[in-house]
């Protein structure tokens, strides 16, 4: 079944969580930490750590390890916001 990752067409099995489909296809980076910029990806695999957050069909912060893949789903890695400045520091 067809889906899209960062605008590139992919194929995968319906009903399998997005994070596991992508992991099986060799994708290890699903986004970047909002503060440090470090790469994030599948970690706990059970919905606890939030390291697998992606944007799915325009909705940010969906946990890839929990959301089943569906046809024509549009998935994108989440980029970090602009770098923090000293004025942003708590």
What element of type H or E holds 24? helix 18-24
Closest approach of ligand FES to the CB of residue 49, in Å: 3
Site for ligand FES contains 27 (CB under 6 A)? no
Number of residues counted as binding ligand FES (CB under 6 A):
13
Q: What count of Cα atoms within 13 Å lies in the side-chain half-sphere of residue 76?
A: 11
Q: How far is CA 46 from the centre of its chain?
A: 14
The answer to the question of residue 28 lying near ligand FES (CB under 6 A) is: no
Residue 56 interacts with ligand FES (CB under 6 A)? no
State yes or no: residue 80 binds ligand FES (CB under 6 A). Answer: no
């Amino acid at each position: 079944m067809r889906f899209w990752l960062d605008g590139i067409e992919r194929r995968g099995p319906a009903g399998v969580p997005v994070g596991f489909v992508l992991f099986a296809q060799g994708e290890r980076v699903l986004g970047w930490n909002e503060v440090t910029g470090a790469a994030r990806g599948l970690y706990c695999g059970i919905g606890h750590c939030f390291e697998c957050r992606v944007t799915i069909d325009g909705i940010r912060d969906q946990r890839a390890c929990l959301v089943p893949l569906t046809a024509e789903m549009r998935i994108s890695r989440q980029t970090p916001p602009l770098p923090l400045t000293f004025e942003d520091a708590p």
